[in-house]
């Protein structure tokens, strides 16, 4: 049932949309926060950089498990209640991370983040149609998923900036405060969102016969894994390979974030009409980025320029791939969204885990070779899919 009729005015409908967008921004920023703080956290907790990567891979893997589960298990529970409960848990998880005395407590807190991540992202994906009139659904969806895109490119530099200024524990403390403010906004502006129907596991199974959707999931897995194999360890990469002074890491990662927002905007314009071509362009960018680091990234100028190009290439990934999923499953958007969230987070987990293993057993540079190889596989898959669609 569309609950837009329960809202007092068209204008008031947009505050809930913005609130949901802030919820996705909050949870994805929390997920990405350790990337820019990895070296400092590893030093404080007396663990290897590779083991510190578990702070990324663990919540991502759990989010992958919880995304479909929440869509199926939430049943008739008011979506407002679910969102508020998950945001409250996110506040607790960030506070626990800020106070963690060792890796065990940190990973316990990050487990809660994984639960929140899967639940919030999966529920948020289907809310646009319930909050605004039909002719505004597209814009509302862009705002909600814009929170994911913005967090994906700004979460890391934000964490690095705060961590360098006042310490990594305060970075998590600031996210706890921000999440609490988003929770207060939800309690204030989100209307009751009763469920008109529930999703069954058979509907998920049915979509596994959708070959175009499976191709989109494969592209998601390859591209996201490719990105996080190297990007999870971007801070040590910039310091040891490009020679950046640690005090400049926050600034250069912020420039990466700005480039990512630009990439997101460009892809948002192009993806609807040229979906396959857009994904091919993104894959090409993610093939080139590690190779550029290997060839010209040994200087601060080369490394900084490559990082900005990386942000431009990766910034539109979530929008481009989600557009692919929505186009190939127009009558099962919530299911496609849950599967996309699951595979996206599996990619994060696999990338962070594989990159950590390479760093601890071989060298940091080897993460770049693996990242480029995975992106090549995605590029070939996208090209083949495009040719198949053109012939059909």
DSSP 218-249: HHHHHHHHHHHHHHTTHHHHHHHTS---GGGH
Q: Are 293 and 266 in contact (CB under 8 A)?
A: no
CA distance 63 to 327: 24
Map out the domains of the chain as residue ranges: 3-391
Q: Report yes or no: 107 and 43 within 8 Å, Cβ to Cβ.
A: no
Alpha helices (H) along 33-53: 38-45, 49-52
User: pLDDT value at position 7?
Assistant: 43
Q: What is the pLDDT of residue 48?
A: 85
Q: What is the pLDDT of residue 306?
A: 94
Say if CB 26 and CB 182 are below 8 A apart. yes
Q: What is the pLDDT at residue 4? A: 40
pTM of the model: 0.82
In angstroms, the CA 215 to CA 325 distance is: 9
pLDDT per residue as tens digits for the range 258-268: 888 888 888 87
In the predicted model, what is the mean pLDDT of the chain? Answer: 86
What token pair was written down for 174?
Answer: 């600031």
pLDDT-flagged residues of the chain (< 50): 1-10
Among residues 146, 132, 169, the alpha carbon closest in space to that of 41 is found at 169
- Looking at domain 3-391, which of 1.10.10.10, 1.20.950.20, 2.60.120.10, 1.20.1250.20 is its CATH number? 1.20.1250.20
């Amino acid at each position: 049932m569309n609950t837009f009729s329960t809202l007092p005015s068209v204008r008031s409908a947009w505050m809930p949309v913005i609130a949901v967008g802030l919820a996705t921004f909050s949870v994805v920023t929390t997920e990405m926060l350790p990337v820019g703080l990895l070296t400092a956290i590893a030093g404080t907790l007396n663990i290897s950089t590779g083991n510190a990567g578990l702070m990324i891979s663990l919540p991502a893997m759990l989010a992958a498990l919880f995304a479909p589960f929440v869509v199926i298990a939430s049943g008739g529970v008011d979506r407002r209640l679910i969102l508020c409960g998950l945001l409250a848990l996110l506040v607790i998880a960030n506070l626990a991370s800020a106070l963690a005395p060792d890796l065990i407590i940190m990973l316990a807190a990050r487990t809660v983040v994984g639960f929140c991540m899967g639940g919030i992202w999966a529920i948020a994906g289907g809310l646009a149609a319930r909050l605004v009139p039909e002719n505004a659904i597209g814009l509302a969806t862009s705002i909600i998923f814009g929170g994911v895109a913005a967090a994906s490119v700004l979460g890391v530099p934000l964490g690095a900036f705060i961590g360098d200024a006042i310490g990594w524990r305060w970075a998590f403390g600031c996210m706890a405060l921000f999440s609490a403010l988003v929770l207060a906004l939800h309690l204030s502006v989100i209307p009751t969102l009763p469920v008109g129907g529930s999703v069954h596991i058979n509907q998920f199974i049915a979509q596994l016969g959708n070959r175009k959707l499976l191709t989109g999931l494969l592209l998601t897995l390859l591209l996201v894994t490719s990105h996080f194999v190297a990007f999870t360890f971007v801070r040590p990469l910039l310091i040891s390979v490009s020679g950046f002074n640690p005090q400049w890491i926050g600034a250069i990662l912020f420039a990466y974030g700005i480039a990512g927002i630009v990439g997101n905007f460009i892809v948002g314009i192009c993806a609807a009409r040229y979906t396959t071509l857009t994904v091919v362009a993104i894959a090409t960018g993610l093939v080139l980025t590690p190779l550029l680091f290997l060839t010209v990234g040994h200087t601060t100028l080369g490394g900084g320029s490559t990082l900005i190009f990386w942000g431009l290439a990766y910034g539109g990934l979530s929008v481009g791939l989600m557009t692919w999923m929505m186009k190939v499953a127009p009558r099962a958007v919530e299911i496609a969204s849950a599967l996309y969230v699951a595979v996206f987070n599996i990619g994060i987990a696999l990338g962070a885990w594989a990159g950590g293993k390479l760093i601890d057993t071989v060298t940091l540079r080897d993460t770049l070779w693996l990242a480029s190889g995975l992106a090549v596989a995605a590029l070939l898959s996208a090209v083949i899919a495009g040719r198949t669609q053109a012939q059909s």
